[in-house]
Structures are given as structure tokens and as C-alpha cells.
Amino acid sequence: MNEREKAAAGLLYDANNNAELIHQRLEAKVKVHEYNHLDPRDLEGKERILKALLGKTGKHLIIETPFHCDYGYNIELGENFYANVNLVILDCAKVCIGSNVFIAPNVGLYTAGHPLDAERRNQGLEYARPITLGDNVWIGGGVTVLPGVTIGEGAVIGAGSVVTKDIPAHRVAVGNPCRVVREIGEADRLRYQSI
């Protein structure tokens, strides 16, 4: 089993000394650098780079710059995806994001983790656990999502939260650590008047 396969299986793998993974991260960094430095009016160029970088995208997506990721090929986006500035996705494992997902500024989706014991950590070993965001999820500003977390359809994560555990569908969750505070219901639909 090679290091990429170990990462996909959730096993400890060598991310820091493996030539193949180092090369793949470098290729992604080149594409990300190009993306982050394009003229903001070059929408076709931005789309071309994202489609070449990411594993899967919907037809409509916007990722404001700057944006950073490790590999790109582990990121799968549904339709109508929007991410504001400073999105960081450490995609050592799959990051699957549904349709109609909105992400506020300064959000980090981190699939990577490291052993607690210094000996293995200093060897360059790490692990990766997938992250999943269901359809219609809204992630507030400054949120951190940790390895292995699934956020259910229609959930809203409050600004500044650190999501360490799964969040069920149609819930508002906030805090550090992030906790469900209530269900999203009919009153929420009626709360804001249409223009």
C-alpha cells in the first residue's frame, strides 16, 4: 500500500517525506498560486483552473481569493457553491461538499491530523479523515471543521465555531467545541421577509 492509499484508508502515512505526495502538493500549489493571482475579471481563467485543480465541481461555483488547498483532487463540490475569502481546505482525505453550500470568510476544513506522541509526529506521520458537508449548509466566518466531521443537510454553523463532531441535518450549531443549539424550523423560514 502506497502513502496515498494509506491516507485514503485513514491509516498513518508519511506526508512529509514521500516524493509522490510532495510532488502532488507542489503541482496543486502552482495551480492555486495561478488562481490567486489572476485578474478578478478573468472568470473563464478562474473556472478553468478550478476545474483542473479540483476532483469534481458543479457547473456554477465561486471561490473568492485567496484560496488554499493541499492536493485539490480530493475536493468534490456540488452545484452552486460559494466560498468567501481565505478558504483553506487541507484535503489529505476526501472533502465532499453538497449543492447550495455557502462558506463565509476565514474558514478551514482540515482533514489532516497528527499523532499526539512526538516521536511519530516528528517522523512526518499523519492521518486523514474525510469531511462531508451536506446540501444547503451554511458555514459562518472563522469556522474550523476538524477531521472526520459530517455536517448534515441544511445545517448552519455559527461564526467562530470549532466543529469537532458530526452535526445533524437542519440544526443551528455554535461554539468551541461546536454544539447543536436548536433545530431549524418553519419559524426560521418566516423570520425574514422577501424583497
Cβ(136)–Cβ(153) below 8 Å: yes
Catalytic residue among 33, 37, 68, 114: 114
| Cβ pair 127, 9 in contact under 8 A | no
Instruction: Give the distance, in angstroms, between the CA of residue 92 and the centroid of all CA atoms in the same chain.
Output: 11
Backbone dihedral angles phi then psi of residue 99, each to the nearest 5 degrees: -85, 155
Does 114 qualify as catalytic in the annotation?
A: yes
Element (H or E) spanning 139, and its range? strand 138-139
Q: What letter does residue 64 receive in the DSSP assignment?
A: P
Active site residues: 114
